[in-house]
Amino acid sequence: MLQAHPSGGAGQPNHAAIFAALGDETRLALVAKLSAGQPYSISRLTEGSHITRQAVTKHLRVLEEVGLVRSMRAGRESLFEFNPEPMEEVKEYLDLVSKQWDNALSRLKAFLED
Amino acid sequence: MLQAHPSGGAGQPNHAAIFAALGDETRLALVAKLSAGQPYSISRLTEGSHITRQAVTKHLRVLEEVGLVRSMRAGRESLFEFNPEPMEEVKEYLDLVSKQWDNALSRLKAFLED
DNA sequence: CTAATATGCAATTACTAAGTTGCGTATTAT
DNA sequence: ATAATACGCAACTTAGTAATTGCATATTAG
């Protein structure tokens, strides 16, 4: 059977945690904005949002914990940039699940044609 | 900018909701089991689990709400089967994000080489 | 028919997450 | 130096989620 990764320290892919981080409209919007390439400060990311800076900050920390974004201090502001690795990680996982499903269908088809 | 889908009724892909449904170890395990092809009853899915049947039922309902599984009643048992469409949906979305990121890097590279 | 199996519904508990507010501190601009 | 900007920390409220328990109902097996 397809087995979920045991969850682990940094670098080890915790698929569920990554999905959970993406499972929020606000965070999904942040990822979309940051994946455009440019790093943004927290204030910048809060602009045009209906929620407070603190709320945005919390969401960014969630994204950072699973590695979807990285942050660096630049003077008085803290810049966030997108990091693609966790996303590739879950894409591979979803491909595995899809592949398992396709194989199952193929076997069923072969069985029925026999 | 990459814009999240406005969230909508059935069929309309609510990416965040699908990610949220996948963002739980238990549900991820259920999806993995069901993607092997065979439909399972709730009791069957509860077997070998540390949580109760009711808990499993609730997780299945969450998965069903975003369309990742479908259920049908068969006599006294209710069978759940995997449905790949929402998964394909989010895979496409992740590809879009990845592509946006890659394009951004390409532009940066081109700019630096100029 | 009766017992065992499989499920559904409802109430409850404990925990987590989203969001806010207030306040303090560091950094930059005038 | 002072004011404005950008941020971090902590307490708190509210709402949602995971999971349990108890009980009722439908279905199948003996």
From chain B, pick out residues whose CB is under 8 angstroms from the CB of A21. 23
The CATH number of whichever domain residue B41 belongs to comes to 1.10.10.10
Would you say residue A29 lies in a domain? yes
Task: Tell me how far apart the alpha carbons of residues A104 and A96 are, in angstroms, rounded to a whole number.
Answer: 12
Would you say residue A7 lies in a domain? no
pLDDT score, position A1 = 63
Q: Which nucleotide is nearest to B53 (CA to C1')?
A: C7
Task: Tell me how far apart the alpha carbons of residues A81 and A105 are, in angstroms, rounded to a whole number.
Answer: 41
When CB atoms are compared, the residue of B28, B37, B103 closest to A104 is B37
pLDDT at A6 over 60: no
Would you say residue B78 lies in a domain? yes
Would you say residue B42 lies in a domain? yes
pLDDT score, position B72 = 98
- Tokens in use for B35? 């993607």
Would you say residue B39 lies in a domain? yes
CB–CB of A16 and B33 under 8 A? no
Bridge partners of B84, per DSSP, are none
| Element at A79 (helix H, strand E) | strand A77-82
For A7-54, how does the pLDDT look when each residue is reduced to its tens digit (9 = 90+)? 434 455 699 999 999 999 999 999 999 999 999 999 999 998 999 999
When CB atoms are compared, the residue of B15, B28, B91 closest to A28 is B15
How do B69-74 and B77-82 pair as beta strands?
A: antiparallel
Q: Which residue is nearest to nucleotide D19 (CA to C1')?
A: B55
Would you say residue A3 lies in a domain? no
Residues B62-71: contacts with CB under 8 Å, at least 24 apart:
B62/B21, B62/B24, B62/B27, B63/B21, B63/B27, B63/B30, B63/B31, B65/B17, B65/B21, B66/B14, B66/B17, B66/B18, B66/B21, B67/B10, B67/B11, B67/B18, B68/B18, B68/B21, B68/B22, B68/B31, B69/B30, B69/B31, B69/B34
* Residue ranges in chain B whose pLDDT is less than 50: 5-10
Would you say residue A4 lies in a domain? no
From chain A, pick out residues whose CB is under 8 angstroms from the CB of B65. none
For A67-91, how does the pLDDT look when each residue is reduced to its tens digit (9 = 90+)? 999 999 999 999 999 999 999 999 9
CA–C1' B55–C14 (A): 15
Q: Which nucleotide is nearest to B76 (CA to C1')?
A: D27
CB–CB of B21 and A17 under 8 A? no
CB-CB contact of A36 with A30 (8 Å): no
pLDDT at A112 over 90: no
Bridge partners of B71, per DSSP, are B80
pLDDT: is A105 or A19 the higher one? A19
Number of domains observed in the structure of chain A: 1
When CB atoms are compared, the residue of B18, B36, B97 closest to A31 is B97
Would you say residue A9 lies in a domain? no
Q: Which residue segment(s) compose the domain that A104 sits in? A: 15-113
Task: Tell me how far apart the alpha carbons of residues B90 and B25 are, in angstroms, rounded to a whole number.
Answer: 18
